Structure 1
């Protein structure tokens, strides 16, 4: 898929990449940065009887919360606010989402499924009418895993 000015997410001028985020059927817009895409595994060990031989292997996977940051914009910020209002009013349910890295040509370069994502923090920089600042919006979500497009189950 390519993103252009005619798509719902217009690419910002002068950026090398943008990060388009969706949750369920809701598009949360393009973000300037996505940080803390990290997976850590507990180290598990298995000792063989009373010998000094043991095996090491990956244990339980732990996923860091992901932070998305961008300049606030009318469409994307409203979509995030609608999602947060839905979560607040209904208690919300974790839903699968996606993170797409969109290059300067509008082509999707990389894509991940974000399993069972759920918002845990949203903030916007303070308002100050005395200066011409860009308001920075940050959204933090927790999740149960990242799957690359190559590793997702394909419909049969």
Structure 2
């Protein structure tokens, strides 16, 4: 039987301009898409050229329970609203023992949306918050 040492991420640490805003338990949307332009060549009916034009980066959604680090996040969002300047961010996937498994460095990060907890006494749940960010791409070197 093969030894499976595949890393398992259980939490995500997020830094905005080298300032930690805490841990998140969900990170969705890390990805990119190469936008292609199709060109048909005259006299060549067997194929269509697929020419890469640009990269599109999907928004990233980070979710966690509301806690002490929530204040850091709302402070950053409030400051970003007054001067929307793209910053850098680092998202690190951490293993169960807190060691980094993978790291993604992002360029040109701006907040898109923050969603706070639903307050409903009829169905008690863990209060969660979600941060959605947009970015202009990945930085080389991962960190």
TM bracket (short chain) = 0.7 to 0.9
User: What pairs up with 1:7-156 in 2 under 5 angstroms?
Assistant: 17-46=10-39, 50-52=42-44, 55-74=49-68, 76-88=69-81, 90-129=82-121, 132-147=124-139, 151-152=140-141
When normalised by structure 1's length, the TM-score is 0.75
Per-residue Cα deviation, 1:38-76 (whole angstroms, up to 9, x for no partner) = 21111134555x3316532322111111000011111x2
Three-state SS of the structure 1 residue aligned to 2:78 is helix
Residue segments in structure 2 that go unaligned for 5+ positions in a row: 1-7
Name the structure 1 match of 2:5.
none
Aligned length: 134
When normalised by structure 2's length, the TM-score is 0.81
Deviation at 1:133, TM superposition (A): 2.5
Residue segments in structure 1 that go unaligned for 5+ positions in a row: 1-14
CA distance in 1, matches of 2:9, 2:57: 27
Deviation at 1:128, TM superposition (A): 3.5
Compute the RMSD of aligned alpha carbons.
2.4
